[in-house]
């Protein structure tokens, strides 16, 4: 977690940020908060939403990179969807995986 200017800890993991965002939404939907507290939670929620969006974009970029062949071309199947089967000669998930 990183520290915000307000002294609160900001989640750095997607899962933590999403959980906190869900908590904020639930509290705001109840409608029982004072205006100032609602605004503070809304602001925190926006920051968390942006963090989650950034994390998802980063994950998507990594996946796209992994789905490219040696020439940098995205490998797709006949329907235009990213290929989900191993390439010829690639390990299929057994003990021969190098990592």
CATH of the domain at 31: 1.10.287.1040
Q: Which pLDDT does position 87 carry in this prediction?
A: 58
The residue ranges of DSSP E strands in the chain, in sequence order, are 2-3, 9-10
The answer for residues whose C-beta is within 8 angstroms of residue 14's C-beta and 6 or more apart is: 51, 52, 55, 56, 59
Residue 51: predicted pLDDT: 97
Stretches where the chain sits below pLDDT 70 are 1-8, 84-99
- Domain-embedded: residue 71: no
Q: Is residue 76 part of a domain?
A: no
Looking at the structure of the chain, the number of domains it has is: 1
Would you give the end-to-end CA distance of the chain in angstroms?
28
Structural domain of 33: 2-66
pLDDT of 5: 47
**Is 48 inside any structural domain?**
yes
Asked, for residue 47, whether it belongs to a domain, the answer is yes
């Amino acid at each position: 977690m990183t520290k915000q200017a307000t002294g609160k800890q900001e989640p750095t993991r997607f899962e933590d940020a999403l959980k906190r965002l869900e908590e904020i939404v639930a509290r705001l939907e109840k409608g029982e908060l004072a205006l100032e507290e609602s605004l503070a939670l809304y602001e925190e929620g926006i920051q968390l939403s942006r963090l989650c969006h950034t994390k998802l974009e980063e994950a998507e970029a990594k996946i796209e990179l992994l789905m490219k062949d040696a020439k940098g071309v995205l490998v797709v199947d006949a329907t235009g969807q990213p290929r989900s089967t191993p390439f010829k000669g690639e390990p299929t998930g057994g003990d021969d995986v190098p990592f």
